[in-house]
Amino acid sequence: MSDAVTLTLATQPTHTLVADCIAADRFAGLGATAIAALPVVHGGRLATLGEFFRVRGERASVVRIEGDCTRIDGIGTGMAEGELMIDGSVGRDLGLAMSGGRIDVRGGAGANAGGAPAGAARGMTGGEIVVRGSVGDEAGARMRRGLLVVTGDGGRGMGKGMIAGTVVVFGNAGPGTGRFLKRGSIVALGEVERPATFRYACTYRPPHVALLLRYLGSRCRLDVVAAQVTGRYERYSGDLAELGKGELLRWVGA
Amino acid sequence: MKINGVAIEDTFAEAFTMRVARLLITGQTLGWAREAAVKLTGFATSVIGCQCEAGIERELPDGETPDGRPGVSVLFLTMDKASLPEQLIVRVGQTVLTCPTTACFDGLPDAPDRLPVGKALRVFGDGFQASKVIGGKRYWRIPVMEGEFLIEETFGMLKGVGGGNFLILARDADAALAAAEAAVAAMTGAPGVILPFPGGVVRSGSKVGSKRYSNMIATTNDAFDPTLKAVTQSQLPEVVNSVLEIVLDGTDGPSIEAAMRAGIRAACRPGVLTITAGNYGGKLGPHHFYLRKILG
């Protein structure tokens, strides 16, 4: 048993690599050889994780990934616990339908981060995803619980159809953010294009946002400005075309 | 044993096992946090008549509170498990929820016994409440006219200690009061301890039951009442004309001992003749705080 399992990208995939076998809790019960033998799909063909990654360590629920994984999809799929730290960018479907644990990406992420598998009603149902960069379209779509934090910009349809949970975006959120939101919170610290089916409620200092941002500053070491912690937020209720119990909180300054 | 010429009696304070919760109340200013805490801990001097004992443990600087605002730490004690959540739900709902700018957090996060205080209070939101999980803890956001009241879903409960005490026997009332005030000042802010009585001081120490009224569970401690020296089996020396008591509740025995040590030393001043303590012969309470051992 090791303190951590480290995957170092040794061979850059030439096509999209679906590596939905990479999850911290899954590695907790596996030796290095078994980890290397886990199946992946490269350009539509079956392969093994070991063909692309050098594996160090075994039987640990703390996993580090080193290398540019922009072409690698599905990292952290279905993860239920443990910690997954990625030094570099990742492809689409990061933390797909995860239910617990923590994913920390020191780079960007592709589309559907924290989202749902195709045809599924629910995206992530728990845990935390921190992306220290920008994300692609529909990040946090249909999420049921949990926390998705994006320090860069969000793509189109961020938090689309969210059932509950929290999305925080430090940069600008793309068009269609929060559309079809049932419950849950989208905290926008940059620019955000509000859907027409959201209605302004008030401008106030939401106490849970202060708590959340302080948590992100201390636990995740994110650069949170004091004015964001103590500042005022416009609250928009929505999506009124849906249940309408969600909210879009837009930071408007100290 | 004497400290500054004040005799320390060879006796012990007898205390009871209680259930304790710690609440951290924050506000936009320390003043508002204190307002809520003072109301919350009002009429909570003794379980004899108040069903609970509570007090402000200490003030918390910005850096020590979950939301980074100034706050106040409060200890809340009851005799049994069932009445602690009952008291907290009623009192927090009427005093902290109602107070502008405040939020309420659990101060015993590692306690395995959890009291669903926020979970019960959430229904004030009439269906408009919402929960948030932050760092593994669930909080309830209850909409109020000011904005939102934030409260943690559950609060920890531990076994605590109630009824630590010492008595200040003085030459006159002024000396007793000055000594009591000095003792309280020395104990204020002691971690894990509260002094639940007004200003931390009790003038009406009680004995169990009554000599005359069968329905009374506690009546005046006539053995320590100076005005009754001539007509009762008094325990007061001739020169003692006033007695004040300090009662301490806390999270654990060592915390109470440390506070008693500081308080008794501060109370040993001119005009004070003896420091003693109240007990029931050691038969009722499992916690015995021997004065000379504490001060030795």
Q: Each residue of B46-56: pLDDT tens digit? A: 999 999 999 99
For B140, nearest residue in chain A (alpha carbons): A208
Instruction: Give the contacts of A151 (CB within 8 A, at least 6 positions apart).
Output: A130, A131, A132, A133, A170, A171, A222, A223
Classify residue A241 by its DSSP letter.
T
Burial (0-12, 13-18, 19+ Cβ within 10 Å), B126:
exposed
Mean pLDDT of A16-40: 97
B62 to chain A, any CB pair closer than 8 A? The answer is: no
Q: Is the pLDDT of residue B282 over 90?
A: no
Alpha-carbon span B164 to B287, nearest angstrom: 8
Of the residues A61, A82, A100, the one at which a domain ends: A61
Q: Which domain holds residue A35?
A: 1-61
B163-207 pLDDT tens trace: 999 999 999 999 999 999 999 999 999 999 999 999 999 999 999
- The Cα–Cα gap between A162 and A171 comes to 20
CB contact set of A221 (below 8 Å; sequence gap of 6+): none
- Is the fold of B2-14+160-295 the same as that of B19-158? yes
* B150: nearest CB among A204, A207, A245: A207
Judged by CB atoms closer than 8 Å, whether chains meet at B148 and A204 is answered as yes
Shared domain check, A24 and A99: no
User: For A166-199, what is each residue's pLDDT tens digit?
Assistant: 999 999 999 999 999 999 999 999 999 999 999 9
Query: Is B25 near chain A, with CB under 8 Å?
Result: no
**pLDDT for B215 beyond 90:** yes
Per-residue burial over A19-57, b if 16 or more Cβ lie within 10 Å, else e, is bbbbbbbbbbebebeebbebebbbeeeebebbebbebeb
Contacts of A124 in chain B (CB under 8 A): none
Examine the pLDDT at B239 and tell me if it is beyond 90: yes
Domains identified in chain A, total number: 2
Asked if A148 and A190 sit in the same domain, the reply is yes
Q: What is the pLDDT of residues A71-84, one digit of tens each?
A: 999 999 999 999 99
Distance CA A21, CA A193 (A): 36
Partner A contacted by B132 (CB < 8 A): yes
As its CATH architecture, domain B2-14+160-295 has 2-Layer Sandwich (3.30)
Q: Is A207 in contact with B133 (Cβ distance < 8 A)?
A: no
In whole numbers, what is the pLDDT of chain B averaged over residues? 97
Confidence tier at B122 by pLDDT (50, 70, 90): very high
Cβ atoms of B289 and B277 within 8 Å: the answer is yes
pLDDT at B281: 87
The whole-number average pLDDT for the span B79-91 is 97
User: Inter-chain contact B134–A183, Cβ cutoff 8 Å?
Assistant: no
B147 Cβ under 8 Å from any chain A Cβ: yes
Residue B35 and residue B280: Cα distance in Å, rounded?
37
Same domain flag for A38 and A79: no
Its ipTM equals 0.94
Q: Which CATH number fits domain B19-158: 3.30.70.520, 3.40.50.1100, 3.30.379.10, 3.40.710.10?
A: 3.30.70.520
**To which H or E segment does residue B112 belong?**
none
Task: Tell whether A126 and A43 lie within a shared domain.
Answer: no
Closest residue in B to A202 (Cα–Cα): B147
Question: Which of B68, B135, B149 faces A210 most closely, judged by CB atoms?
Answer: B68
Contact B134 A212 (CB under 8 A): yes
pTM: 0.94
Indicate yes or no: CB of B150 within 8 angstroms of CB of A145.
no
Average pLDDT over residues A188-213: 96
Is the confidence at residue A250, as pLDDT, over 90? yes
Of B132, B133, B147, the CB nearest to A205: B147
To the nearest 10°, report the CA torsion of B139, B36, B87, B260.
110
A1: pLDDT confidence band, cut at 50, 70 and 90?
A: confident
CB contact under 8 A, B150 and A211: yes
* Domain boundary pick from A37, A61, A85: A61
User: By C-alpha distance, which of A202, A180, A196 is closest to A246?
Assistant: A180
Residue-level pLDDT at B148: 98
Q: Considering only residues 67 to 96 of chain B, which have any Cβ-Cβ distance to chain A shorter than 8 Å?
A: 67-68
Q: In which residue are the tokens 């909210």 written?
A: A247
Annotated domain spans of chain B:
2-14+160-295, 19-158
Residue A69 lies in a domain: no
Q: Does the residue A30 lie in any domain?
A: yes
Question: Are A211 and A111 in a shared domain?
Answer: yes
User: Same structural domain for residues A149 and A42?
Assistant: no
B296 band by pLDDT with thresholds 50, 70 and 90: confident
Locate A144 and state its tokens.
């049921």
The answer to whether B130 faces chain A, any CB pair under 8 Å, is yes
For chain A, list residues whose CB is within 8 angstroms of any CB belonging to chain B.
Answer: 145-147, 166, 183, 185, 202, 204-208, 210-212, 214-215, 219, 229, 245
Interface A–B counts its CB contacts (< 8 A) at 45
CA distance A178 to A200: 14
Chain A CA closest to residue B127: A245
Chain A residue numbers touching B149 (CB-CB < 8 A): 207
Number of H helices, E strands in chain B: 7, 17
In chain A, % of residues over pLDDT 70 = 100
pLDDT of residue A2: 84
A155 shares a domain with A31: no
Give the CA radius of gyration of chain A.
18
Note whether residue A68 is domain-resident: no
Q: Are residues A163 and A86 in the same domain?
A: yes
| Mean pLDDT taken over chain A | 97
- Calculate the dihedral angle through the C-alpha atoms of A225, A231, A232, A235, rounding to the nearest 10 degrees: 50
Which member of A166, A202, A214 has the closest CB to residue B132?
A166
Q: How confident is the model at residue B174, as a pLDDT? A: 98
What mean pLDDT comes out for the span A117-145?
Answer: 97
A98 and A22 assigned to the same domain: no
* Whether pLDDT at B32 is above 90: yes
Asked if B200 is an interface residue toward chain A (Cβ–Cβ < 8 A), one would say no
For residue A210, which residues of chain B lie inside 8 Å, CB to CB?
67-68
Q: Could you give the CA distance from residue A91 to residue A72 in angstroms, rounded to a whole number? A: 5
pLDDT of residue B40: 98
What confidence score (pLDDT) does residue A31 get? 96
Mutate to test the interface with A, among B62, B133, B137, B138 (most CBs of A within 10 A): B133
Residue A222 makes CB contacts below 8 A (sequence gap 6+) with: A130, A132, A149, A151, A170, A216
Does the pLDDT at position A219 exceed 90? yes
Do A182 and A209 share a structural domain? yes
